[in-house]
Amino acid sequence: MAGRRIAFVFPGQGSQSVGMGRALASEYPEIGATLDHAGSLIGVDLKELCFSGPEEELTRTSNAQPAILALSVAVYGLVSGRLEPFMVAGHSLGEYSALVACGALGFEDAVRLVRARGELMENASDGSGTMCAVIGLDLDKVEELCRRVSAHGTAVPANINCPGQIVISGHREVIEAAAKEAVSMGARFATMLKVSGAFHSPLMEPCAKLFKEHLDAVHIADARVPIVSNVTGTAVRSASEIRQLLLRQITSPVLWEACVRTMRRHGVDVFVELGAGQVVTGLIRRTDKSAATYSTGDPAEISKLLLFAEEERA
């Protein structure tokens, strides 16, 4: 059926893995060229990191963020002009890739911004903060959980990803206590995440203040198509609002489930994840099983997507 409403969605940190993009680059040389260009902007061999690692270097926040963005934008370049998105969105870091795709942010500015964002997040992480994925509790229960343990520090919902999957963030000892308490409250399990800080929580406020200087230095344009904000779960287009929301994103929860539901309410029925892995695709399927999804992590998936694009244009 032609004329379906398509959303381009972009993965965030955690989707990286050694070897990402290598198979694509063997078939599409522009993938490697984009990674080389991004790496030259920040003095890091991103192509080598993505293709060969080492894993501990690729996983570093300051490297993972520009690597994921560069690969996402490279893959976007393969489908740009063949499919036109009705809306765009990205999970946390992925919001920057989405901003490139909708014309609000230039690619070079985006690479430099997320490199700075990653470095600031690393520097703000002194080991006192962490995150935990709580599986099997709804938001009301998770908020109650955070209230129960927060007498001794910060614990807040940080990623509301899909029904039954919410990540909490805060002081390490408080989050560790919450992980134990979650199971007694009915969670299927609670898993501590291998992260260096309490991302998307008030503990990132020092990082946000420093990041504002970097954000203020770049040009942001009005979006060509609506981008659905992590902070509000609503669609925005104005440059001034996008700038404000990017700053708030550092300390605010990622309302990904709300983003997906907003796109569905606006008639989106096909979601195309552009970049490494299938993390975002999985969250969308858990939120709405009726939505069609495409991933783009290898040449076979790209071929399937391009066939769909040809059918849409027929």
Q: Catalytic residues, which ones?
A: 92, 200
Q: Which long-range contacts (CB under 8 A, 24 or more apart) does 188-194 make?
A: 188/135, 188/136, 189/135, 189/136, 190/132, 190/133, 190/134, 190/135, 191/132, 191/133, 191/135, 192/130, 192/131, 192/132, 193/130, 193/131, 193/132, 193/133, 193/167
Q: Rounded to whole angstroms, how far apart are CA atoms 276 and 283?
A: 14
Q: 77: number of CA atoms within 13 Å, CB side? A: 17
Q: Rounded to whole angstroms, how far apart are CA atoms 110 and 299?
A: 26
CA distances from 183 to 84, 133, 143, 147, 312 (A): 44, 12, 14, 15, 47
Q: What angle do CA 95, 20, 121 make, to 5 degrees?
A: 45
Q: Rounded to whole angstroms, how far apart are CA atoms 98 and 11?
A: 9
Q: Rounded to whole angstroms, how far apart are CA atoms 311 and 314?
A: 5
Q: Rounded to whole angstroms, how far apart are CA atoms 84 and 3?
A: 10
CA neighbor of 273 nearest in space, from 287, 284, 265: 284
